[in-house]
Structure 1
C-alpha cells in the first residue's frame, strides 16, 4: 500500500489524457506540451503518477514528468486490464480507466520509472522501421512468386517489384549500420563481449543490448528470460488438469526468434550449452525443449557478461573449482 504518497491515475489517448486523484477527482488535459505544463502545476513532490504503457502516446508525458522530478510508474496495460476485470468493473470510459489506474496505484507496490537513454530509444525506433521493411520484403517476394507462377517471369511488373525489393533491402542495411554505430559508440565493450559467447552473433548481441538497455533494467537473468517469453507456463490443478508446460512467448518475438536460431549453433559449439542440450535429450525430452533451455543459458551467459564486464571464458567454471 502506498499510504504516504498522493496517487494520480492517468489514462492516455492520442489527443488527451484523463487524470484521477482522491483530492482533486477527475481532470482532462490535452496530450501535448501545453497540457503537460498545466498538469504539472497541480502536482507536488508528494504526487506519484501512474499510467499504462499505451504504445507511443504515454512516452512524452512520462519523460516530461520524470525530468521535472515527479515520481512516475509505467505499468503493463495487461496488468491494468486484469486488475479492472478482477474488480468486476463493467464501465469502460477514459474517466473510469483513470480511476481504476488510481485504484491500482493505492493497492499495489509501485516501481519508479526512468526513461531509457536517448540512443536506446533511437535504436528501438530504428528496429521498428527495420521490421516494417522486412514485412514489405516478404510481401514483395510473395508477389513476385505469384506473378512468376502465372508465367510473368520477366515482365515489367516483376522488374518493378525487384527494383523495389532491392531498394528496401538497401534501406534495411543502412538502418542496421546506423543502429550498430550507436551501440558501438555507447556500449562498445558490452557489444564486443557478448559476441564472444559461442552461438551469439552480431545481430543478436545488438538486439539484446537494445531490448534490455544493456541489461540495466533487470536484476537477474530469470527476469530477462521472462521478458523475452522463455519462462515456462505450467498448467496443473488438482488431479484432472495436467496441461503441457509451454513457454509464455511474451515480449519481443524478434529477439526470441534470433535467440532460438542461435541455440542451434550454441548447442554444438558452446561447451556449457552443449552439455545442457545433451543432458536434456538423454533424459528423453524433446529437442525443442532442449533448445529452449539453451536459449535460457545464452541469456544467463549474456547477463553475467553484462554485469561482470568479463568476456566469455569456456573454462571459467573449471577455474572456479581449482580456486
Structure 2
C-alpha cells in the first residue's frame, strides 16, 4: 500500500557545510518547509541523521533527496545516502537552475529551498543516482590528477622553449636545468598514474569488459576509454547513444526562427568539452590510420560537407 506521507529534501552543498530543506507532503497537502545547516563532515552527517529521525523522515522510497553535482564536495553525503538506503538524485546544475524559471535572489538557504521544491515538483521523472562505486571514484580522481599534471607539464615545456630568448646564458642554463627536472618528475608521475589506472581496470571484471570493448573501436585509445567509463559510470547511468553523443557535443541542432534566422545546423556549446576534445582527436586518428574512415571523410568533404561536421559524424 502506497504511503500517504512523502518527504522531499533539497540540499545545497559547499565545502565547509550544507544547507538542507525538508518538505513533508501528507495526503497531497504540502507542509511548511524546514531549513537547517550542517557541517559537511562525518560529524555533521550524524547530526543530519538525528534531524531526519527527529522529523520522522522515512529512509525508503517515500523520501527523495536532491542535490546538485558539486564534484567532490557531495561525496560524503552521497555515501551517507547509499549506506542508509536513502534515494538520492544528483542532478546537473544547469538543468536544475533553468527549471527554476525567473528566480531572483540567491543564497545557500534559498538554493536548498528551491532544490526541495524541485524534488517535489519533478519527483515522478527524477531517477535515483546509483550507488557510489569506490573503484570508479578512484579512476575519476586519477584522471583528474593526470589532467592537472599534464597541464603543468605543458606549461613547463612552453616556458622552457621561451627561455631560448633570454640573453643571459648563465641564467638560461640554470632555469633550463630546473625546468628539465620538473618536466622529468611530472612525466614520471603521469606514467605512474596511468599504470595505476590500468591496474584498477584489470582488477574489476565489469570495467575491464567495457574497457576492452571501447579500445576495440577504431581510434579509441586507452585514456579516452577510461574517461568514457568515468563519465558514464561504467555505462550504468542509462544514457542512450544519442544522449551520450549530445553530452559530448557532437550532435548538430537546428538554428532557425521565423523568416529572420535561417542558420545552418550547429553543435551546442553545452557539452563536456574535455570529452569532445578527446573524441575529436580519436576521429582524426581514425581518419589517418584507417582507409575506411579516410575514404568516408574525403567523400563527404568532396560533396561539400563542412570538415568539422564530417569529423563529428565519425
TM-score bin (small chain): 0.7 to 0.9
Structure 2 matches for 1:1-323, cutoff 5 A?
5-23=6-24, 25-41=34-50, 42=52, 43-44=57-58, 45=60, 46-84=62-100, 86=101, 88-108=102-122, 109-151=125-167, 155-186=173-204, 187-267=207-287, 269-270=289-290, 273-274=293-294, 276-294=296-314
- Post-superposition shift, 1:113? 0.8
Residue pair 1:184, 1:191 contacting (<8 A) in 2 also = no
Number of residues paired by the alignment? Answer: 290
Query: Can you list the C-alpha shifts for 1:134-185, whole angstroms capped at 9, x where unaligned?
Result: 1111221122122212245651111111111111111011101111111122
Query: Can you list the C-alpha shifts for 1:209-251, whole angstroms capped at 9, x where unaligned?
Result: 2322322223421121122222223321111112343322444
Indicate how the Cα distance of structure 1 residues 193 and 97 shifts in structure 2: closer, same or farther if over 3 A, else same: closer
- Post-superposition shift, 1:128? 0.8
Partners of 1:257 and 1:219 lie apart in 2 by: 20
Gaps of 5+ in 1: 295-323
When normalised by structure 1's length, the TM-score is 0.82
Paired residue secondary structure (1:18): strand
Residue pair 1:218, 1:224 contacting (<8 A) in 2 also = no
**C-alpha RMSD of matched pairs (Å):** 2.2
Residue pair 1:144, 1:158 contacting (<8 A) in 2 also = yes
Indicate how the Cα distance of structure 1 residues 151 and 15 shifts in structure 2: closer, same or farther if over 3 A, else same: same
Paired residue secondary structure (2:159): helix
Partners of 1:238 and 1:251 lie apart in 2 by: 27
- Post-superposition shift, 1:52? 0.9
Partners of 2:121 and 2:265 lie apart in 1 by: 31
Indicate how the Cα distance of structure 1 residues 273 and 102 shifts in structure 2: closer, same or farther if over 3 A, else same: farther
